[in-house]
Amino acid sequence: MPGGAIVAVVDGGYDSYDTERRILAPLGAEVVLRDCAGDAARVAEACADAAAVLVRESPVDGRAIARMGRCRAIVRYGIGVDNIDLAAARARRIYVANVPGYGAEEVSDQAVALLLGVVRRVASRDRAVRAGAWNVSRREKMYRVAGRTLGLVGYGRIARAFERKMRGLGVERVLVHDPNVPAADGVELAGLETVCRESDYLSLHAPLTAGTRHLLGRRELALMKPTALLVNTARGALVDEAALVEALREGRILGAGLDVYEHEPPRTGHPLFALDNVVLSDHTGWYSEESVAELQTKAAEEVARVFRGEPPRHWLNRWDA
C-alpha cells in the first residue's frame, strides 16, 4: 500500500483509535477521525479521498460511494450493514466487510437482561420503591420463566448464545424461524406465524433487509399471547413500532424489552416512553470494554488485509473475479 493512504473513521465514539493506528501504520496508512454524526452529505465529503472507510451508524450511500476516488474497503464496526449501499460498492469494486464474531456474549446478555427486566418488572419496581411504595407485587402480574417457550427469529451466533443462557433459566421449548437454517439440534424450526402464536418470549436476531423490514407488524403482533414478551436487540425496523405501541398500550401483549428503535435516537416524547410495560436501553447491547477492543482490532485487520492485496475475511458484497 503506498504511503499517505487515508483511513477515514466517519463515526466517533471510541476513547481512542490507537489500535487502528498500530495495525495500519506499518502499511503506510494514516487513521483520521472525521465524525459525520450520521449526516450523509458529510460522509460523502469525508470519504472522497479515503483509501478505506471505517463506519458505525452513519449512512454510506450511493452518493458517498460515487465520490470515492481511492477507496478499496468499507468496514462496518459491527454486524449489520443496512447503512451501506452494497450494490454501489460492488459496482465500484470496493470491498464491504463487517465484524460478525464480536459481541455475541454482550448482545445476548442484554437480551436476557431486558427480558428479565420485563418479566420481573424491575424498572417499575425501582420507580415504585423510590416513591415510597412497598409490598405491591400483585398490582403487576409476573410469571415464572422456567417451563416457558422461547421463540427466536434469526438463529445466528447471538441467538444461539441467548438460547444457551435462557436454557439455563429453565426455558423448556425453543422455536426458531430462520429460512437460512435447514436444521438445528434441540430446537424446532417453524414458520413465523407459529413462532408468534406459540412463544412466551419472542426475541429478534435477524438482519435488517428489504425483506425483513416490519417483519413484525400488526398481524404478527395480534397472533402473540396476551402474556407474551417481545425482546429486540437486533434492528428497530424489524418491528412496526406504531403497531407495537398500540399492542403494548392496549395490553394485547404483556411487555417488551427494546435496545433498538426504528429511528435512533428515538425522538423526545416518543410514545414508548409513557408505557410502564416496556424496558428500554440505548442500543448498548453490543458494548463491553472487551467487545470494543475486539471490534476495533478486527475492523482494522480487515482493512489491513485489503491493503496487503487480500480479500477481507468477512467480505459481504462479492463479485466475480
- Work out the pLDDT band at 298, boundaries 50, 70, 90: very high
Region 20-34 average pLDDT? 97
**Cα 161–167–169 angle (5° rounding)?**
115
Distances (CA, A) of 163 to 62, 156, 186, 277, 286: 38, 11, 10, 23, 17
Q: Which of 3-7, 121-125, 174-178 has the highest mean pLDDT?
A: 174-178
Region 86-114 average pLDDT? 96
For residue range 195-230, list pLDDT tens digits in order: 999 999 999 999 999 999 999 999 999 999 999 999
> Considering Cα of 274, then 275, then 276, then 278, what sign does the dihedral take?
negative
Are 260 and 79 in contact by the 8 Å Cβ rule? The answer is no
* Residue 21 known to be catalytic: no
Buried b (16+ CB within 10 A) or exposed e, 71-86: bbbbbbbbbbbebbbb
CA distance 204 to 240: 13
Q: Which residues contact 102 (CB under 8 A, 6 or more apart)?
A: 78, 79, 286, 291, 294, 295, 298
What's this model's pTM, rounded to 2 decimal places? 0.87
Q: Which residues contact 191 (CB under 8 A, 6 or more apart)?
A: 177
User: Which of 21, 270, 283, 294 is an active site residue?
Assistant: 283
Transcribe 116-170 into DSSP letters. Answer: HHHHTTHHHHHHHHHTT--S-GGGS----STT-EEEEE--SHHHHHHHHHHHHTT
User: Which of 34, 177, 235, 314 is an active site residue?
Assistant: 235
Task: Tell which residue, 55, 49, 43, has the closest CA to residue 30.
Answer: 49
* Residue 246 known to be catalytic: no
Region 295-310 average pLDDT? 98
* pLDDT computed for residue 255 by the predictor: 98
* Residue 235 known to be catalytic: yes
**Residue written as cell 465514539?**
13
**Residue written as cell 465529503?**
45
Question: Cα-flanking dihedrals φ and ψ of residue 241, to 5°?
Answer: -65, -40
Q: Which domains does the chain have, with CATH numbers?
A: 5-102+288-307 (3.40.50.720), 104-280 (3.40.50.720)
CA distance 235 to 184: 24
For residue range 51-79, list pLDDT tens digits in order: 999 999 999 999 999 999 999 999 999 99
Are 50 and 4 in contact by the 8 Å Cβ rule? The answer is no
| 3-state SS class at 106 | helix
Residue-averaged pLDDT of the chain: 96
User: Which of 93, 172, 193, 264 is an active site residue?
Assistant: 264
CA distance 97 to 24: 16
| 3-state SS class at 299 | helix
* pLDDT computed for residue 4 by the predictor: 82
For residue range 124-151, list pLDDT tens digits in order: 999 999 999 998 878 888 999 999 999 9
